[in-house]
Amino acid sequence: MTDAVKTRYLVVHMTDPTAEQWDDEVDSPALQRWIDAGRTGERWELDGSPVGDRDTARSVVTRNGEVIVTDGPFPEQKEWFMGFDWIEAESIDEAVAIVSTHPSTKIGRLYVVPAAPLPEGVN
Amino acid sequence: MTDTTQEQYLLLFTDAPDAEPYSQEADDIFDWLEAVADHRIFGERLTGREEARLVTKRQGEVFVTDAPVAEFKEWFSGFDLISASSRDEAVEIGSRHPCARFGRVLVLPLMGAIQSNALLEQTVHARANVAAEPTALA
């Protein structure tokens, strides 16, 4: 926790129609190992969360001052959100290595998106 | 930190092709931060897709794609984790965020509440420092 140069990454879990099926026997223990590693590790301990399915989501925009709310399921989007994690790593390569053991890589796809850099002097 | 009577929502901000062009003058993010301080747990701005990676595993092999193009074509500009008493309240909070004008806000209910922990505390602390110096973000 003493090194200053860590970047935080939003890990977005998404479905993928071409992905493989969840296999309880293999994937449940793999997920548990991943969560445990995060909880006991020193670098990436914020628990993420699954999110609700398409029907429970809303899309919100304001256009010309008017708020427009659209209910799920957003059929035009083939991919949908499964959940997110918030991790910390020294590099994008380390972040990729951390998430590569998460079963969401198998049953869907993971986007690893760095946080925009904080201004100088803030940590 | 965690109020169990409240639900938690991920507000995910993306680009949108029909949004108005970004204008720093019209960006009232600091008004929003102040107005929703009681609901906001933490949030961050995110980098562009060039900095991001897509990670998948197929038949046991890990594939890493640089600068991925999401199937839905839009890209993430940031997120906030908020608490609200209902989805309608979460939608209302999201609708006042400047990204509702300059992009799109997705309101995603969390299946479980995020508990406070060291990384979250650090993040909140860092953000509080930034909020104290709004010009630093310009």
Predicted-complex ipTM score: 0.88
Cβ neighbours of A61 in B, within 8 Å: 16, 18-19, 100-101, 103-105
Q: Strands A108-114, A81-89: parallel, antiparallel or unpaired by DSSP?
A: unpaired
3-state helix, strand, coil in chain B (%, to 5): 30, 30, 40
| Beta strand residue intervals within A30-107, DSSP E | 46-50, 58-63, 66-71, 81-89
pLDDT value for B128: 58
pLDDT value for B137: 42
Instruction: Give CA–CA dist A114/B28, Å, rounded.
Output: 23
Question: What mean pLDDT comes out for the span B82-86?
Answer: 94
CB contact (8 A) between residue A115 and residue B45 = yes
CB contact (8 A) between residue A60 and residue B44 = no
CB contact (8 A) between residue A49 and residue B113 = yes
Find the CB nearest A100 among B52, B57, B110: B57
Of A5-9, A75-79, B36-40, B126-130, give the lowest mean pLDDT range.
B126-130
Find the CB nearest A58 among B47, B56, B87: B87
Identify which of B39, B92, B122 has the alpha carbon closest to the alpha carbon of residue A8: B122
pLDDT value for B85: 94
The architecture in CATH of the region A7-114 reads 2-Layer Sandwich (3.30)
Domains of chain B in sequence order = 7-132 (3.30.70.1060)
Q: How does DSSP classify residue B15?
A: -
3-state helix, strand, coil in chain A (%, to 5): 25, 35, 40
Q: What is the pLDDT of residues A30-77, one digit of tens each?
A: 998 888 887 776 555 566 789 999 999 999 999 999 999 999 999 888
Of A34-43, A86-95, B100-109, B110-119, give the lowest mean pLDDT range.
B110-119
In the structure, what pLDDT confidence band is assigned to residue B130 with cuts at 50, 70 and 90? low
pLDDT value for A47: 65
pLDDT value for A52: 93
pLDDT value for B136: 40
Residue boundaries of the structural domains of chain A: 7-114
Mutate which of B1, B7, B107 to disrupt the A interface (most A C-beta within 10 Å)? Answer: B107
Instruction: Give CA–CA dist B31/B93, Å, rounded.
Output: 12
Other Cβ atoms less than 10 A from the Cβ of A94: the count is 17
Mutate which of A59, A63, A79 to disrupt the B interface (most B C-beta within 10 Å)? Answer: A59
Other Cβ atoms less than 10 A from the Cβ of A25: the count is 7
Find the CB nearest A51 among B18, B71, B108: B108
Question: What mean pLDDT comes out for the span A94-123?
Answer: 85
Q: How does DSSP classify residue A115?
A: B
